Amino acid sequence: MINEFLNAIAKSIEQNKSLYHEIKDGVSFEKHVFAEMKKFSVITNEFNVSKVEHNGSHSFPDLKVTFSNNTIYGVEIKFSASGNWKSKGNSVFESLSNKELDDRAYKDIYVFFGRKPKAREDIQNLEVRFAPYGSSIDKIEVTHSPRFSINMNQKESNLMNLFGLDNTYADFRIKKNEEKNKLLRTYFQQVTKKSSFDKWYMPDSTGEEPTVEPLLFSSLKEAQRQQIIAESFILFPFDLIRKKAYYMNVVPYMISKHFVYSSALRDSFSASGKTVILENEIKYPRILMTFYNHVTKIKEVLRNPPYESFERDCHISWEKAKIEHPQIPINLNKEDSLEYSFEQIIKNYKPEMEIFEIKTNSTFITNIDLSKFYHLELLV
C-alpha cells in the first residue's frame, strides 16, 4: 500500500523533466513532494489514502500519510543537489517532535530521497529512491551526539538489529534512552576493537541526551583507520605531502567528521625516517609509503564519497590551498568528477621533499612526481 503510493509519486517526479531546473534544494523538493501526495490522494482513490499531513518545520518525520483503514506511515524527505545518494539522518535520541497522540501511531517510517544528477551524467530529470528508514541507514556517526547516516545505495542495512524484532525504525524510536544505550553499546563494540573504550558513551548528569567521549584513532579497526587516512589524503594533499607534513587541518576534520582523536597523529601517517618504495637506490619520506599503500582506498573514496558534502569540502580545501600556495599550477573544475580533479592534483603538484640516495650516501631536496606513487587512470 505505502510502497505503491510512494512509487507513483516517485514516477511522477522522475517523468517531470522541468523539475530538474525548478527544484534547487531540499525545501523546494519537500514542498513539491507534499503537494504531489495531496494531489494523488484527491484525484484518485487507487491507493486508499485518506489524508496527507505536514508535521511542521524541524519535525521528524516530515510527512504523515494516513490510509482509509487508519494505518499511518511517516515519510522523511531528503534531497541531494550534489548527485549523491547519502545524507545525514536524525539524532538517535530524537524526541517524538510531531506530538502524535499514540507513540505507536506509525506502522513504519520511510525515507523518500530525491537527487539532482550532475551535469556530466547527462540525465535530465530528478531521480528518486525510497525505502523504510531502518533499511536506509548504513551507520551511526558521532559528533556531539549519535546521528544516523542515510545511504540509499546500500542493498541491506547492517543496523537492523537496532530496530527491534519487527525491523522497523518506528519501533526503535519509541524505546527509552536506556534501551537505546544498550543497543548502541552493542553496535559500537561490533565496529571497534574489543580493546577500545567499552564506556565510550555515557549519559550526562542532567539525565537528558547523553554526552559522548571521542574514540582513540588507534582503537579503530584497520578498515576504519584506512578510510580516515584516505579521506585525509584526498582533502589535504598539500598539507600532508610536503617536506614537513602539516596536521592542523587533519585533526579537526577527524574530530568533526569521525569523532576520533589521536595523541600521535604523525605516527599514523609518516612515523619517522625514510624508506624504499619503488626504487632500491632511493629512500623516500615514509609518508609517501603511507600514500602509496592507501591508493586503492583513496580511489574507492573518490568514486564513492563518504558523505553528501564531501565533494564540496574537497574543493573548498583545495581552493584554500591554492590561495595559500599560488605557485601550484593546478586548474580545477567543479563539473569534473572528484577522481579526475584529484588526478589533476597528483599530476601537477610536485612538492619539494627530502630523499636519500643510497648509492652516494647523500641526502638532498627534490621535486617529487606523485604520479609515480599513484596510477593515473583518467588523465592521459
Is 132 domain-assigned?
A: yes
Please indicate, yes or no, if residue 204 is contained in any of the structural domains. no
* Interatomic CA distance for residues 117 and 16, integer angstroms: 14
Do residues 122 and 239 both lie within one domain? no
Please say which residue of 119, 154, 189 terminates a domain.
154
Domain end, chosen from 130, 154, 178, is at: 154
Q: How many domains does the chain have?
A: 2
What is the domain extent for residue 344? Answer: 219-372
Distance CA 72, CA 207 (A): 31
CATH number of the domain bearing residue 118: 3.40.1350
* End position of a domain, from candidates 136, 154, 172: 154
The answer to whether position 194 is within a domain reads: no
Q: Which three cell numbers mark 367?
A: 621535486
The answer to whether position 212 is within a domain reads no
Per residue of the chain (380 residues), give pLDDT as tens. Answer: 899 999 999 999 999 999 999 998 899 999 999 999 998 888 776 888 999 999 887 788 999 999 999 999 999 999 998 888 888 888 787 655 444 545 568 888 999 999 998 877 888 899 999 998 888 888 777 655 677 888 888 666 666 666 655 557 877 887 887 778 777 777 766 665 444 443 444 444 444 555 556 788 888 889 889 999 999 999 999 999 998 889 989 988 888 788 888 878 888 888 767 888 888 889 999 999 999 999 999 999 998 888 878 888 999 999 999 888 787 778 888 888 899 999 999 999 999 999 999 888 999 999 999 999 998 887 75
What angle do helix axes 222-235 and 310-324 make, rounded to 10 degrees?
50
- The whole-angstrom separation of Cα 265 and Cα 286 is 14
Residues 232 and 246: their CA atoms lie apart, in Å, by 12
230, 365: one domain: yes
Would the CA dihedral through 225, 209, 109, 117 be positive or negative?
Answer: negative
Whether 231 and 135 map to the same domain: the answer is no
Handedness of CA 334, 338, 339, 342 (dihedral sign): positive
Whole-prediction pTM: 0.60
